[in-house]
Amino acid sequence: MKIMITVTSGTDDPTRATLGMLAAKAAVEQGHEVTVWLQGEAATLANRNVYPFIIGVNMPSMQETVEFLVGNKVPLWVCQACGKGRDVGPDNWVGTASYKKMGDFVDALLSMDKNIEF
């Protein structure tokens, strides 16, 4: 199954951000094809200098979760406007991150089986 995981929280709500990334990890572990859309403050999750320090309440490690996703080549789509507004870009993002625009997100959703939002 093709799944889009939409994450809207980052440093502003570490627990919610971690839950979204954990859902992506669980979906990959179950064998699904996953793309993660990071918008708003969630764009910071693609910054290799920030994500290791995001710690949710009673949550597993964000660092291990992001590294699992990157290691499994899960695309991390960063809303271009959101990323640029938070200084997240090619100079500091993780290996599978890339800028996408809202049109790219909408187009991709039309080909997905499910969208899960956090």
For the chain, what are the domain ranges? 2-117
Mean of per-residue pLDDT scores for the chain: 97
What pLDDT is recorded for position 30?
98
Sequence-separated (6 or more) residues with CB below 8 Å from residue 17? 7, 9, 10, 11, 41, 42, 45, 54, 56, 62, 118
Q: Percentages helix, strand, coil for the chain, rounded to the nearest 5?
A: 45, 20, 35
pLDDT tens by residue, 40-91? 999 999 999 999 999 999 999 999 999 999 999 999 999 999 999 999 999 9
pTM, two decimal places: 0.96
Do 51 and 92 contact (CB within 8 A), yes or no? no
- Best CATH choice for the domain 2-117 from the list 3.40.50.720, 3.40.1260.10, 3.90.1150.10, 3.20.20.70: 3.40.1260.10
